A and B are shown apart, each in its own frame.
Chain A
Amino acid sequence: DVKVTQSSRYLVKRTGEKVFLECVQDMDHENMFWYRQDPGLGLRLIYFSYDVKMKEKGDIPEGYSVSREKKERFSLILESASTNQTSMYLCASIPRGVWNEQFFGPGTRLTVL
Protein backbone atom coordinates (compact mmCIF):
# COMPACT_ATOMS: atom_id res chain seq x y z
CA ASP A 1 0.00 0.00 0.00
CA VAL A 2 1.19 3.47 -0.87
CA LYS A 3 1.67 5.58 2.17
CA VAL A 4 1.71 9.35 2.04
CA THR A 5 2.15 11.03 5.40
CA GLN A 6 2.08 14.65 6.45
CA SER A 7 3.92 15.99 9.47
CA SER A 8 0.92 17.46 11.28
CA ARG A 9 -2.85 17.00 11.15
CA TYR A 10 -3.51 20.35 12.81
CA LEU A 11 -1.30 23.42 13.01
CA VAL A 12 -1.91 26.87 14.48
CA LYS A 13 0.47 29.70 13.57
CA ARG A 14 0.58 33.45 13.90
CA THR A 15 0.56 35.99 11.08
CA GLY A 16 4.08 36.60 9.78
CA GLU A 17 5.51 33.29 10.97
CA LYS A 18 7.44 31.04 8.61
CA VAL A 19 5.61 27.74 8.31
CA PHE A 20 6.90 24.39 7.04
CA LEU A 21 4.53 21.61 5.98
CA GLU A 22 6.22 18.28 5.34
CA CYS A 23 5.09 15.41 3.17
CA VAL A 24 6.74 12.01 2.92
CA GLN A 25 5.90 9.10 0.63
CA ASP A 26 7.33 5.61 0.89
CA MET A 27 6.76 4.29 -2.62
CA ASP A 28 9.65 5.85 -4.52
CA HIS A 29 7.30 8.11 -6.49
CA GLU A 30 8.86 10.69 -8.77
CA ASN A 31 5.98 13.15 -8.79
CA MET A 32 4.70 15.00 -5.73
CA PHE A 33 2.08 17.72 -5.35
CA TRP A 34 0.77 20.27 -2.89
CA TYR A 35 -2.87 21.36 -2.95
CA ARG A 36 -4.99 23.51 -0.76
CA GLN A 37 -8.63 22.63 -0.21
CA ASP A 38 -11.22 25.25 0.72
CA PRO A 39 -15.00 24.81 0.93
CA GLY A 40 -16.62 25.57 -2.40
CA LEU A 41 -13.27 25.96 -4.16
CA GLY A 42 -12.22 22.34 -4.51
CA LEU A 43 -8.58 21.30 -4.71
CA ARG A 44 -6.23 23.95 -6.04
CA LEU A 45 -2.72 23.05 -7.12
CA ILE A 46 -0.02 25.13 -5.45
CA TYR A 47 3.21 23.50 -6.65
CA PHE A 48 4.35 20.17 -7.98
CA SER A 49 7.66 18.42 -8.44
CA TYR A 50 8.55 15.71 -10.96
CA ASP A 51 12.03 15.02 -9.64
CA VAL A 52 14.45 15.91 -6.88
CA LYS A 53 15.25 19.64 -6.89
CA MET A 54 12.68 20.21 -9.67
CA LYS A 55 9.52 22.22 -9.15
CA GLU A 56 6.70 23.68 -11.20
CA LYS A 57 4.15 26.32 -10.26
CA GLY A 58 0.54 25.30 -10.10
CA ASP A 59 -2.52 27.52 -10.10
CA ILE A 60 -1.91 29.46 -6.89
CA PRO A 61 1.82 29.61 -6.05
CA GLU A 62 1.80 33.16 -4.66
CA GLY A 63 2.89 33.26 -1.02
CA TYR A 64 4.30 29.73 -1.12
CA SER A 65 7.55 28.04 -1.97
CA VAL A 66 8.60 24.39 -2.01
CA SER A 67 11.64 22.27 -1.45
CA ARG A 68 12.45 18.77 -2.73
CA GLU A 69 15.92 17.76 -1.55
CA LYS A 70 15.13 14.04 -1.34
CA LYS A 71 12.88 11.96 -3.52
CA GLU A 72 10.58 10.90 -0.71
CA ARG A 73 10.06 14.33 0.84
CA PHE A 74 8.31 17.43 -0.48
CA SER A 75 8.04 20.49 1.74
CA LEU A 76 5.66 23.41 1.41
CA ILE A 77 6.88 26.69 2.89
CA LEU A 78 4.83 29.72 3.79
CA GLU A 79 7.46 32.44 4.01
CA SER A 80 5.27 34.83 6.01
CA ALA A 81 1.95 33.27 6.93
CA SER A 82 -1.19 35.32 6.44
CA THR A 83 -4.76 34.74 7.60
CA ASN A 84 -5.91 34.01 4.03
CA GLN A 85 -3.64 30.98 4.04
CA THR A 86 -5.81 29.32 6.66
CA SER A 87 -6.84 26.14 4.86
CA MET A 88 -6.56 22.37 4.54
CA TYR A 89 -3.34 21.42 2.78
CA LEU A 90 -3.12 18.10 0.97
CA CYS A 91 -0.03 16.44 -0.39
CA ALA A 92 -0.14 13.78 -3.11
CA SER A 93 2.28 11.59 -5.02
CA ILE A 94 2.28 9.41 -8.15
CA PRO A 95 4.93 7.27 -9.84
CA ARG A 96 6.62 8.10 -13.13
CA GLY A 97 4.49 7.26 -16.13
CA VAL A 98 1.27 8.44 -17.61
CA TRP A 99 -2.23 8.65 -16.25
CA ASN A 100 -1.60 7.28 -12.78
CA GLU A 101 -3.71 7.66 -9.67
CA GLN A 102 -2.66 10.41 -7.29
CA PHE A 103 -2.30 9.12 -3.72
CA PHE A 104 -3.18 11.73 -1.16
CA GLY A 105 -1.94 12.28 2.35
CA PRO A 106 -4.33 12.82 5.28
CA GLY A 107 -4.07 16.60 5.11
CA THR A 108 -2.86 19.35 7.44
CA ARG A 109 -5.42 21.83 8.69
CA LEU A 110 -3.53 25.08 9.11
CA THR A 111 -4.99 28.00 11.03
CA VAL A 112 -3.21 31.35 10.84
CA LEU A 113 -4.23 33.77 13.58
Chain B
Amino acid sequence: GENVEQHPSTLSVQEGDSAVIKCTYSDSASNYFPWYKQELGKRPQLIIDIRSNVGEKKDQRIAVTLNKTAKHFSLHITETQPEDSAVYFCAASINQAGTALIFGKGTTLSVSS
Protein backbone atom coordinates (compact mmCIF):
# COMPACT_ATOMS: atom_id res chain seq x y z
CA GLY B 1 0.00 0.00 0.00
CA GLU B 2 0.91 3.67 0.06
CA ASN B 3 3.76 4.64 2.34
CA VAL B 4 5.41 7.83 3.59
CA GLU B 5 8.92 7.64 5.02
CA GLN B 6 10.09 10.51 7.22
CA HIS B 7 13.64 11.31 8.39
CA PRO B 8 15.14 11.98 10.83
CA SER B 9 13.01 10.71 13.71
CA THR B 10 14.69 13.17 16.10
CA LEU B 11 16.50 16.42 15.41
CA SER B 12 18.26 18.70 17.87
CA VAL B 13 19.43 22.17 16.85
CA GLN B 14 20.63 25.34 18.50
CA GLU B 15 18.40 28.38 18.44
CA GLY B 16 18.98 30.29 15.23
CA ASP B 17 20.09 27.25 13.24
CA SER B 18 18.13 25.78 10.35
CA ALA B 19 16.26 22.49 10.49
CA VAL B 20 15.40 20.21 7.57
CA ILE B 21 13.01 17.27 7.64
CA LYS B 22 12.70 14.99 4.63
CA CYS B 23 9.92 12.72 3.42
CA THR B 24 9.49 10.31 0.56
CA TYR B 25 6.21 8.87 -0.68
CA SER B 26 5.35 5.82 -2.71
CA ASP B 27 2.14 6.70 -4.58
CA SER B 28 2.89 8.65 -7.75
CA ALA B 29 -0.78 9.76 -7.82
CA SER B 30 -0.37 11.74 -4.58
CA ASN B 31 -1.03 15.40 -5.30
CA TYR B 32 -1.16 17.13 -1.93
CA PHE B 33 1.56 17.26 0.74
CA PRO B 34 0.78 18.98 4.04
CA TRP B 35 2.94 19.36 7.12
CA TYR B 36 1.47 19.28 10.63
CA LYS B 37 3.01 20.42 13.89
CA GLN B 38 2.04 18.85 17.19
CA GLU B 39 3.16 20.51 20.39
CA LEU B 40 3.32 18.44 23.53
CA GLY B 41 -0.17 17.54 24.75
CA LYS B 42 -1.88 19.36 21.91
CA ARG B 43 -3.59 18.39 18.69
CA PRO B 44 -1.78 18.45 15.31
CA GLN B 45 -2.16 21.67 13.34
CA LEU B 46 -1.38 22.43 9.72
CA ILE B 47 1.64 24.69 9.27
CA ILE B 48 2.20 24.59 5.51
CA ASP B 49 1.17 22.54 2.50
CA ILE B 50 2.16 22.17 -1.13
CA ARG B 51 0.33 20.87 -4.16
CA SER B 52 1.80 18.73 -6.89
CA ASN B 53 1.91 21.53 -9.47
CA VAL B 54 4.21 23.66 -7.30
CA GLY B 55 7.90 23.08 -6.58
CA GLU B 56 8.36 25.32 -3.57
CA LYS B 57 6.29 27.32 -1.11
CA LYS B 58 7.38 29.72 1.61
CA ASP B 59 5.68 31.21 4.64
CA GLN B 60 7.98 33.41 6.72
CA ARG B 61 10.56 31.08 8.34
CA ILE B 62 9.03 27.91 6.93
CA ALA B 63 9.42 26.53 3.42
CA VAL B 64 8.49 23.30 1.73
CA THR B 65 10.01 21.88 -1.46
CA LEU B 66 8.65 19.11 -3.65
CA ASN B 67 10.43 16.93 -6.19
CA LYS B 68 7.72 14.90 -7.90
CA THR B 69 10.13 12.95 -10.06
CA ALA B 70 12.02 11.67 -7.05
CA LYS B 71 8.87 11.56 -4.87
CA HIS B 72 10.60 13.65 -2.19
CA PHE B 73 9.39 16.62 -0.23
CA SER B 74 11.09 18.53 2.57
CA LEU B 75 10.32 21.02 5.32
CA HIS B 76 12.85 23.77 5.98
CA ILE B 77 12.72 25.92 9.10
CA THR B 78 15.15 28.82 9.28
CA GLU B 79 16.20 30.83 12.36
CA THR B 80 14.73 28.23 14.68
CA GLN B 81 13.27 29.34 18.00
CA PRO B 82 12.50 27.34 21.17
CA GLU B 83 8.78 27.51 20.33
CA ASP B 84 9.51 25.51 17.17
CA SER B 85 10.14 22.51 19.43
CA ALA B 86 7.42 19.97 18.60
CA VAL B 87 6.71 16.83 16.61
CA TYR B 88 6.39 17.46 12.89
CA PHE B 89 4.45 15.13 10.58
CA CYS B 90 4.57 15.08 6.81
CA ALA B 91 1.69 13.57 4.87
CA ALA B 92 0.74 12.64 1.33
CA SER B 93 -2.74 12.40 -0.14
CA ILE B 94 -4.13 9.02 -1.17
CA ASN B 95 -7.16 10.28 -3.07
CA GLN B 96 -7.69 12.86 -5.79
CA ALA B 97 -9.37 15.42 -3.56
CA GLY B 98 -6.52 15.31 -1.08
CA THR B 99 -8.95 14.59 1.72
CA ALA B 100 -7.44 11.30 2.88
CA LEU B 101 -3.82 11.36 4.00
CA ILE B 102 -1.05 8.95 4.88
CA PHE B 103 1.23 10.42 7.54
CA GLY B 104 4.93 9.90 8.17
CA LYS B 105 6.03 8.67 11.58
CA GLY B 106 7.01 12.10 12.78
CA THR B 107 10.15 14.04 13.64
CA THR B 108 10.72 15.34 17.16
CA LEU B 109 12.47 18.70 16.82
CA SER B 110 14.21 20.14 19.86
CA VAL B 111 15.50 23.70 19.72
CA SER B 112 17.80 24.65 22.58
CA SER B 113 18.59 28.22 23.51
A-side interface residues toward B, CB under 8 Å?
31, 33, 35, 40-45, 48, 50, 56, 58-59, 90, 94, 97-102, 104-107
**A99 adjacent to B103 (CB under 8 Å):** no
With A42-B104, A106-B43: A98-B9 Cβ-Cβ less than 8 Å: no
**B46 adjacent to A102 (CB under 8 Å):** yes
**A100 adjacent to B89 (CB under 8 Å):** no
Contacts of A97 in B (CB 8 A): 97
CA distance A94 to B10 in the complex (A): 29
Pick from B9, B46, B93 the residue with the most CB of A within 10 Å: B46
**B97 adjacent to A105 (CB under 8 Å):** no
**B103 adjacent to A104 (CB under 8 Å):** no
**Between-chain CB contacts (< 8 Å), 15 pairs:** A40-B105, A42-B6, A43-B89, A43-B91, A43-B106, A48-B99, A50-B99, A59-B1, A90-B43, A98-B97, A99-B49, A99-B51, A102-B34, A104-B44, A107-B43
**Binary interface encoding of chain B residues 76-113 relative to chain A, with 1 for a CB under 8 A from any of its CBs, else 0:** 00000000000001010100111111111110000000
Count contacts on B: residues with CB < 8 A to the other chain. Answer: 26
CA distance A99 to B104 in the complex (A): 18
- Residue on A with the closest CB to B42? A106
- Residue on B with the closest CB to A97? B97
B14 within 8 A of A: no
Q: A42-B103, A42-B105, A48-B100 are in contact. List 4 more A-B contacts (CB 8 A).
A: A31-B99, A43-B106, A45-B103, A101-B46
**A40 adjacent to B9 (CB under 8 Å):** yes
B73 within 8 A of A: no
With A90-B43, A101-B34: A45-B1 Cβ-Cβ less than 8 Å: no
Contacts of A59 in B (CB 8 A): 1, 102
Q: Closest Cβ of chain A: how far from B113's Cβ, in Å?
A: 26
Selected from A41, A48, A99, A107, the residue in CB contact (under 8 A) with B105 is A41
**B6 adjacent to A45 (CB under 8 Å):** no
B67 within 8 A of A: no
B28 within 8 A of A: no
- Residue on B with the closest CB to A44? B103
